[in-house]
Structure 1
Amino acid sequence: MGTAHSTLMNKGESFTSIELKINFFRPTWRDKLTAHARPILSGKTITVYHCKITNTEGKLVAAVTSTVMALRGDKAKGR
């Protein structure tokens, strides 16, 4: 979800995760996983994402919810 959010950042901006919740539904060992993340709430500073992770059969392996906070100006320096 960090990769998804990074596509929304402007030059000189950064972000940090402030919450991450993962539910695992089935085991996987040697499988190709696909993750699809989308924002479910996007404000000026806080964005909440939901991500579904599926295996090659299209079965849900895990679901992730993440909250990220945009950092701008002095808060983004050095990040």
Structure 2
Amino acid sequence: MLSPNPAYIGALIDVVNSSPFPTHMRMQLIAIAFDHAVVSLKIDTCHFQPYGIVHGGVLATLIDTATFWAAYLRLPGDDGLVNIDLKLNYLKPAGEGMLTATGRCIRAGRSLSYAEAGVSDADGNLVAHGTSTLMALPGKGLAFKENKFLDD
């Protein structure tokens, strides 16, 4: 059985967290494992819409990101992934503190995967939930010197 290589996971988290879009959004990949990912974002004024609550696009971005990384480790080493469908529901306004998106891959396939994520506020209240269909992109994976997997 294959297991994630801790050196690869560390390098992956570093690359993701220093990439332009996550840096711009001020979000971070906190954890990634088979079928699971956690992404966080500390709410700042740049995340607000005119009514003083977090813009829905921020919540959608967190769901998109958490579902993506929840499915990622099931891919072969040289494959990438792209979101082809995102559905979500806004459940409660968010206004301050930390947001945490927890993603779970429900089904990992060779070409299509399906995942879900919930976004919770600092008090643990679910503020948004969504699902995503993701498509594998052969040969478009991230390249690291570390091996993606270790044998158990």
* Same-fold status (TM-score > 0.5): yes
TM category, shorter: 0.7 to 0.9
**TM-align CA RMSD:** 1.8
1:12-51 equivalences under 5 Å are 12-51=78-117
Separation in structure 1 between the aligned mates of residue 79 and residue 109 of structure 2, nearest angstrom: 15
Separation in structure 2 between the aligned mates of residue 59 and residue 20 of structure 1, nearest angstrom: 21
- Please give the per-residue CA displacement for 1:23-75, whole angstroms capped at 9, x wherever unaligned: 101111212111110011122211100101111111110001000011114xx
TM-score relative to the length of structure 2: 0.45
Give aligned pairs, total. 75
Richer in strand (by share): 1
Richer in helix (by share): 2
Which runs of 5 or more structure 1 residues have no equivalent in the other structure? none
Separation in structure 1 between the aligned mates of residue 97 and residue 126 of structure 2, nearest angstrom: 12
Q: Secondary structure at the match of 2:98?
A: coil
Separation in structure 2 between the aligned mates of residue 40 and residue 4 of structure 1, nearest angstrom: 9
TM-score relative to the length of structure 1: 0.80
The alpha carbon displacement at 1:11 in A equals 3.5
Which runs of 5 or more structure 2 residues have no equivalent in the other structure? 1-66, 142-152
1:8 alignment partner in structure 2: 74
The alpha carbon displacement at 1:3 in A equals 2.6
Q: Secondary structure at the match of 2:102?
A: strand
Identity of aligned residues (%): 31
Higher relative contact order (CA 8 A, sep 6+): 1
**Rg comparison, structure with higher value:** 2
